[in-house]
Amino acid sequence: MSKALLYDATMCIGCKQCEGACAQQNKLPYDDKVAAESVQSAHKYTVVMTKDDKFMRRLCMHCEHPACASVCPVGAFHKTAAGPVVYDVWKCIGCRYCMVACAFNQPKYEWQSLNPRVRKCIMCPDRIASGKPTACAEICPTGATKFGERDDLIQEAQQRISQSPSTYLPRIYGLHEVGGTSVLILSSKKVEEYGYPSSERVGETPMPEYTGRVMEKIPDFIPVWALVLGGVYWVSHRRDEVAAAEAEQKNGNNRNGGAK
Amino acid sequence: MKIKLTFWKIVFLVIMALGLYSTFVRYYYGLGAISNMTDQFPWGLWIGFDCLCGVMLAAGGFCMIGAVYLFNVERLHSVVRPAVLTAFLGYLLFIVGLLFDLGRPWYIWHQLIYMNPHSVMFEVGMCVMAYTTVLFFEFLPNVLERFHLNAPIKWIKKIYPVLIVLGILLSTLHQSSLGSLYLIMPSKLHPFWYTPALPFLFFGSAIAVGLAMTIFESTQSAKAFGRHLELPVIVELGGALLVALWVNALLRFEDYFHRGMLGQIIKPSYEAYFLWLELTLAFVIPIAMLSFKKVRMSPQGLYLASIFTVLGFITNRLNIALTGFETYVGHHYLPKWTEFSVTLMIIAMGFALFGVAARYLPIFPEEEHAVQQSPRIEPGPVSVTAVLGHAGD
């Protein structure tokens, strides 16, 4: 069973306490200036956005099949059994493939650093391991961000939609997107208006499958192609050898003939 | 020793000076200071040109090795050494480019210990590492011959069939995998360039550009080093290039046709202008030129057609790496001048090293008898930057 976060935008009051708690948890700077920033960055893993008095949170979606983990050449990302997609900085070589591969643009980079790290929400894996909810869920005064088992949260989200269908759009963002995510979003406004990619755009196929379809053929391709190339080499050079041998034989015959 | 400063030598020195300044900025202030890359545009000119185009431009090595040693087309023999030299330098400079682009280049060796076999980047990295090693051994006989070390040449000759097969195998894998890198971005890369056929298109373009680059460097070094140009060889390569261009064009058409994109690519749009530029340079002009026998038989015609081909496919890869993301990101990316200057420095190093190698190593075949038969194209003293000196001819 894996953990997840359910964010219900209709319950959010925009207090940004989740931002502060996240910064504290991850030892990031947080003051009024950072609070006013409306975009995520290397020092702001989560952001609460405002549009027409409605709020929306953004954070790493913690995909069930994360693209970042599949593309990283040194395996610096992996999805833990508990749900979080975590980052091992000591492995990272800084190729930034995770950043271009992520459909939600979550990994951010320390562009000003000389030993830069990729930064994103890691869903408080240490807190989860000790049985606590994430920092953002714990501090949320209204329960807009709720921590729990993914399956339970899906059930609860479905219940909320069916109980007040006029409040919610009839969808749980993250339920099927890119094969499902560990962050689920309920809202009355389309999440796309806040910069989330549309469901149609990202599709329901787990991202790693796009490259996996090609990568899985490579172990078969290598021996077959090596054999073909070796075969071509053998044939094209064999022709020369045969020609040379025949020429020699001919020469030999001529010489023999001449000696008679 | 008196060093004469020509125009191109001064250009070379200016490029190197600016490049060294940018290198200092890169390693003293970081990626943010030197580049216009951002969280929205994490891959810029260095991935687009130095990596994607660099590897493509170095494809002549495996193409010529394949033609001459694998298919045993003996008459093309004279272009193998320069092609292998270009490839070897190309891959070394690709690695230099990576050292600029990687955020933590000092951990580049992690690739060898923390392997993730699901990653296309891992596969490209391993192939490039292995192929550069193969190229080293394919290039080494030049150096050994220069110093008359015959014993090691014999050892290398013994493993040559293995090197050849391995080199082409690795090239097939990583040339196509550079395209596979982008397969994971269906929601980001513009549909003009995102296609499941990317690995095939990248491999196809590598072969076309490999042929074009071989024509280009043969003609160019004939000019620069005042060598006799072996016209029949580049005429034959020109014919092969025409076929390769048709195959590539057909692949592109099939791809757009099957994805129902033909209607969209003819409608004017920001991306369409770049696509048209790419298709005109890579296909329309060189195919039209090479279709005339007169052009196909003339050194100037072949030279120009090969330049158009190379520029066209460079445009193609820059479109994939940069143009294709601009609509998704919502703003344009223009490299900072320091990014350009690093790229220029790497190119200049390539020209200079080619010049040095061509001067001191037996890269080009001996031509005592050839000299008498036909006049040299442009006689002149060979210098370290001779190739560079004629780069703009």
Check CB contact under 8 Å for A75 and B30. Answer: no
Chain A closest CA to B161's CA: distance in Å?
Answer: 8
Which of the 8 DSSP states describes residue B365? P
pLDDT tens, residue by residue, B186-241:
999 999 999 999 999 999 999 999 999 999 999 988 888 888 888 899 999 999 99
Q: Is residue A66 part of a domain?
A: yes
Say whether pLDDT at B286 is over 90: yes
The answer to whether residues A80 and A155 belong to one domain is: yes
The answer to whether residues A229 and A115 belong to one domain is: no
Among B293, B208, B221, residue whose Cα is nearest residue B251: B208
- Quote the ipTM score: 0.89
B33 contact residues in A (CB cutoff 8 A): 112
Q: Is residue A30 part of a domain?
A: yes
The answer to whether residues A162 and A111 belong to one domain is: yes
Q: What DSSP element (H or E) covers A109?
A: strand A108-109
Among B312, B205, B209, residue whose Cα is nearest residue B255: B205
The answer to whether residues A192 and A249 belong to one domain is: no
Q: No. of H helices and E strands in chain A?
A: 10, 9
The answer to whether residues A166 and A251 belong to one domain is: no
The answer to whether residues A99 and A168 belong to one domain is: yes
Please tell me which of the candidates A94, A210, A230 has its beta carbon nearest to residue B183.
A210
Chain A closest CA to B50's CA: distance in Å?
Answer: 14
Q: Are B216 and B59 a contacting pair, CB within 8 Å?
A: no
Give percent above pLDDT 70 in chain B: 92
The answer to whether residues A139 and A229 belong to one domain is: no
The token pair at A253 is 């015959």
Angle of helix B198-224 relative to helix B80-101, nearest 10 degrees, comes to 120
Distance of CA A147 to the CA centre of its chain: 21
Check CB contact under 8 Å for B119 and A73. Answer: yes
Confidence class for position B65, pLDDT limits 50, 70, 90: very high
| Chain A residue closest in CA terms to B169 | A226
- For residue B373, the model assigns a pLDDT of 41
Phi, psi torsion values for B338, nearest 5 degrees: -70, -30
Q: What DSSP element (H or E) covers A145?
A: strand A145-149
Region B366-372 average pLDDT = 46
The token pair at B138 is 């394919």
B43 contact residues in A (CB cutoff 8 A): 96, 100
Q: Domain of A247?
A: 217-259
Check CB contact under 8 Å for A70 and B102. Answer: no
Q: Are B49 and B311 a contacting pair, CB within 8 Å?
A: no
The answer to whether residues A158 and A235 belong to one domain is: no
One-letter amino acid at B185 equals M
Which of the 8 DSSP states describes residue B49? I
CATH: 3.40.190.80, 1.20.1630.10, 1.10.10.10, 3.40.50.300. Which one for B46-365? 1.20.1630.10
List CB contacts of B280: < 8 A, sequence separation 6 or more. Answer: B312
Chain B closest CA to A83's CA: distance in Å?
Answer: 20
Question: What is the distance between the alpha carbons of residues B133 and A159, in angstroms, rounded to a whole number?
Answer: 61
Q: Reduce the DSSP state of residue A77 to 3 states and report it.
A: strand
Last residue of a domain, one of A207, A229, A248: A207
The answer to whether residues A232 and A132 belong to one domain is: no
Domain count, chain A: 2
Chain B closest CA to A141's CA: distance in Å?
Answer: 31
Region B317-325 average pLDDT = 95
pLDDT tens, residue by residue, B21-31:
999 999 999 99
Say whether pLDDT at B284 is over 70: yes
A208 contact residues in B (CB cutoff 8 A): 118, 184
B105 contact residues in A (CB cutoff 8 A): 93-94
Q: Is residue A85 part of a domain?
A: yes
Chain A closest CA to B279's CA: distance in Å?
Answer: 26
Terminal C-alpha separation, chain A: 94
The answer to whether residues A201 and A245 belong to one domain is: no
Check CB contact under 8 Å for A72 and B121. Answer: yes
One-letter amino acid at B174 equals H
Q: Is residue A212 part of a domain?
A: no
Check CB contact under 8 Å for A109 and B42. Answer: yes
The answer to whether residues A70 and A137 belong to one domain is: yes
- For residue B379, the model assigns a pLDDT of 38
- For residue B385, the model assigns a pLDDT of 40
Confidence class for position B374, pLDDT limits 50, 70, 90: very low
B161 contact residues in A (CB cutoff 8 A): 230, 233
The token pair at A126 is 């240490």
Check CB contact under 8 Å for A218 and B123. Answer: yes
Region B305-310 average pLDDT = 97
Q: Are A8 and A167 a contacting pair, CB within 8 Å?
A: no
Q: Are A182 and A5 a contacting pair, CB within 8 Å?
A: yes
CATH number at A152 reads 3.30.70.20
The answer to whether residues A99 and A200 belong to one domain is: yes
Q: Is residue A7 part of a domain?
A: yes
Question: What is the distance between the alpha carbons of residues B50 and B321, in angstroms, rounded to a whole number?
Answer: 11
Per-residue pLDDT 10s for chain A (260 aa) are: 699 999 999 999 999 999 999 999 999 999 999 999 999 999 999 999 999 889 999 999 999 999 999 999 999 999 999 999 999 999 999 999 999 999 999 999 999 999 999 999 999 999 999 999 999 999 999 999 999 999 999 999 999 999 999 999 999 999 999 999 999 999 999 999 999 999 999 999 999 999 999 999 999 999 999 999 999 999 988 888 888 888 888 877 666 554 44
